[in-house]
Structure formats: C-alpha cells, structure tokens
Amino acid sequence: MGESRAALADPLGGDGSPFGKAKGMVFPRIVLVGHGVISELPETCRQFDFPSVGAVITGPRTAELAGNRAAEILTHDGFSITTVIAREATGAEVDRVSSELRGRGVKFLVGVGGGSKIDITKVVAARLRIPFLSLPTSAAHDGISSPRASLHGAGTVTSTEAAVPVGVIADTAVIVQAPFRLLASGCADVISNTTAILDWRLAVRLRGEEFSTTAATLSDYAAQEIIDHADAIKPNLEESVWIAIRPILVAGIAMSVAGSSRPCSGSEHLFSHALDRISAHPGLHGEQCGVGAIMMMYLHGGDWRRIKNALLTIGAPTTARELGVTNEEVVRALAMAHSIRTERYTILGDNGVTRDAAERLATVTGVVA
C-alpha cells in the first residue's frame, strides 16, 4: 500500500531508541452504506472541503446505472463536474484518463463502477495527487476499499499500489441492480480469507514472517460473517447486499492494517492467478478464489466442506464446470500455483503439489468430477 511503511526512517528519535517501530495505515474516513446513499454525495464532498471542480470516472454501462446520476446530483448542488467514460483497467487507459483531466483544475474524483473503474480511479487519483470517493456499482471482490489496484497488460494482470478512497458510498439500491453473480463472487473472495489466514500463520511459524493479529482478526471476522449469513445472500434482494457489503469492506480494511494483501490472499489466490494465466476463459477472480479455498482448506486439514457448503448456499461456483474452465486447467493451475508469487509462502510450499496429488485434491473435493 502506498502510505504504509514497515519502518519509517529514524522513527522516534532514531539511534539508540529502545523502541524503533513505526507504521502508517490509510483508511477511508467516511463509509456510507445503505439504500439511496448516493444522494449524500454532495454533503460528503463538503465534509471533505472539496473545492467545486471535480470529475466522475465511470464506465459505459455503469454511467447509466449510477455514474450519470452521481454527476447530476453534484452539478445540481453547485459542483462543476467533468464525466470521463473509462474502458478496461490498463496502464494505457490510466494514462488517457489522467491526461484528459490534467489542466482542468480538477480537485477531486468520484469513481463510479465495478472493480475496474474503481481501480482506474485509484491509480489516477494517486497520479494526480488528489483525493477520491469510491461509489461501487457492484461488489465482485474485496478491492473496493483496499490500497491496491489491478491493471491488465499484455496477457497479465499486475497489482499496483494505489490511493485509498477517502470515502466509500455503497448504495445498496444501486448494487442490487448488478448481476447477482458479481455479489456472489465478492462473497467468495471474502470466504477465501479463511485459507489466506491459515497460510499466513504457517508462514509465521516456518519463516518468521511478520503477523498482525488485528488484520487477521478483521479478515477472519469478514469471512465468518459471510459464511454465517450465507443463506440470507440471495439474488434480487437488497438486504443481501447490506449483509455482504460490510464484510467485503472490512476485508479491504484488514489489508490496510497489514500493509499488504496477506490477510486476504494466500494459496487460494495463487490458484486463481494461475488459472487466469492458463485458462482461455477464466472465471471471476472471487469465484476462482472460492473454489481455491475449498481445495486449500483440504490441504490444511481444515473443514473444507463448510467452505463448500457456504459457497453452494450463496450460489457461487464450487466446481471447474461452474467456473467455466476445464478439469485439466484446474489440475494444471494447482500444480503451477506455488510458482506464481514465490515470496508469498503458503501451504503449497516451495515445490507445490505434484500432478497426481493435484488430480486427487481436485477430485476428492468434488471440484473436478
């Protein structure tokens, strides 16, 4: 994350100080969740003392869903708003949006959209050094409030440090209109915290990695909330968004506390990243992490059926077929996952699982039939 440092230079008096630890954490300062909270946008901007010139960054579809409305509400209230329609989250698109906004005196941004538009806004805000508000139109993963953004390159996805929104306005009446598959994916992403935390604890024991009880507790709380309320998360029900969105936001906070994605990203995320590379038509990030969590929980010797049942109850994928990938791709992704990000130690160890073991793992957990 941008502003988090494991150790600041010369903290607390520097040399000879018996206690030289320092850490920075950046969080959203205002988080509004509820029906119709989009109308609070002008008031929220005033609370931050934003000057009157700002921009809304949104997508072609999310403009109709909420982006245009956000711009109208602000304009009606006396703000001078430029609306930029952004496309895919790529470095080139970040360059284009940044240059379109430069020289216009824009002093704040409002990112309105799903993951990719929020990600573009995060990076553009960091580049222009101005604050931004996040107004998600869907909740497909835990990145809404996190300090990282995913940018797509030539066949790869890179995780980039980016600005944290100063405020999050999560309007449940807007988010419920997004396809349910997206919310189910966001829930699966949070459920996958369960194995990420086990991997983290393992790395602490085996590698002496730094641990944050606070971050792990927040991350676990978020996962358990979703698992415990799985039967209340249903399509076309605004209350489901209400139940799911808070744990999704808390997961982002856990990453801000840790200063890394560690509390919410372990072997199950490595599996998802491997599948993104291998499969011609990968599933959604959160969906793949959920399926990964079933299998990684099996490797940890934990209650993998509980993970699987929660995903089934919500209606998130639990099999290769439901992800839209082949059995072979799942097995190859499992065997390759350990090599994706070697500094992130997980249950997969340094050598990963063999192909035979990968086949058995996927079969015994029912991911591959």
Task: Report the nearest approach of Zn ion to the CB of residue 275 (Å).
Answer: 13
Q: Could you give the residue ranges of the DSSP H alpha helices within the chain?
A: 41-47, 60-62, 68-76, 91-101, 115-128, 172-175, 180-191, 193-207, 213-228, 238-258, 267-278, 285-299, 304-314, 320-323, 327-336, 355-364
Q: Does 287 bind Zn ion (CB under 5 A)?
A: no
Q: Which two tokens stand for residue 85?
A: 């329609």
Task: Report the nearest approach of Zn ion to the CB of residue 148 (Å).
Answer: 10
Contact 117, 111 (CB under 8 A): yes
Task: List the interface residues with Zn ion, window 162-191 (CB under 5 A).
Answer: 189
Q: Which is nearer to Zn ion, 230 or 293 (CB)?
A: 293
What's the rounded Cα separation, in Å, for the pair 125 and 203? 34
For Zn ion (CB under 5 A), the number of binding residues is 1
Q: Which is nearer to Zn ion, 110 or 223 (CB)?
A: 223
Q: Which is nearer to Zn ion, 171 or 189 (CB)?
A: 189
Q: Which is nearer to Zn ion, 73 or 191 (CB)?
A: 191
Task: List the interface residues with Zn ion, window 50-79 (CB under 5 A).
Answer: none
Task: Give the list of residues 6+ apart from residue 60 with CB closer than 8 angstroms, or none.
Answer: 85, 87
Binding pattern for the stretch 206-235 against Zn ion, x by CB under 5 A and - elsewhere = ------------------------------
Task: Report the nearest approach of Zn ion to the CB of residue 143 (Å).
Answer: 7
Q: Which is nearer to Zn ion, 108 or 271 (CB)?
A: 271
Task: Report the nearest approach of Zn ion to the CB of residue 144 (Å).
Answer: 11
Report helix angle 193-207 to 267-278, nearest 10. 110
Task: Report the nearest approach of Zn ion to the CB of residue 196 (Å).
Answer: 9
Q: Which is nearer to Zn ion, 269 or 308 (CB)?
A: 269
Per-residue b/e over 261-273, b at no fewer than 16 CB within 10 Å? bbbbbbbbbbbbb
Q: What are phi and psi of 30, to 5 degrees?
A: -125, 125
Residues lying near Zn ion in the complex (CB under 5 A): 189
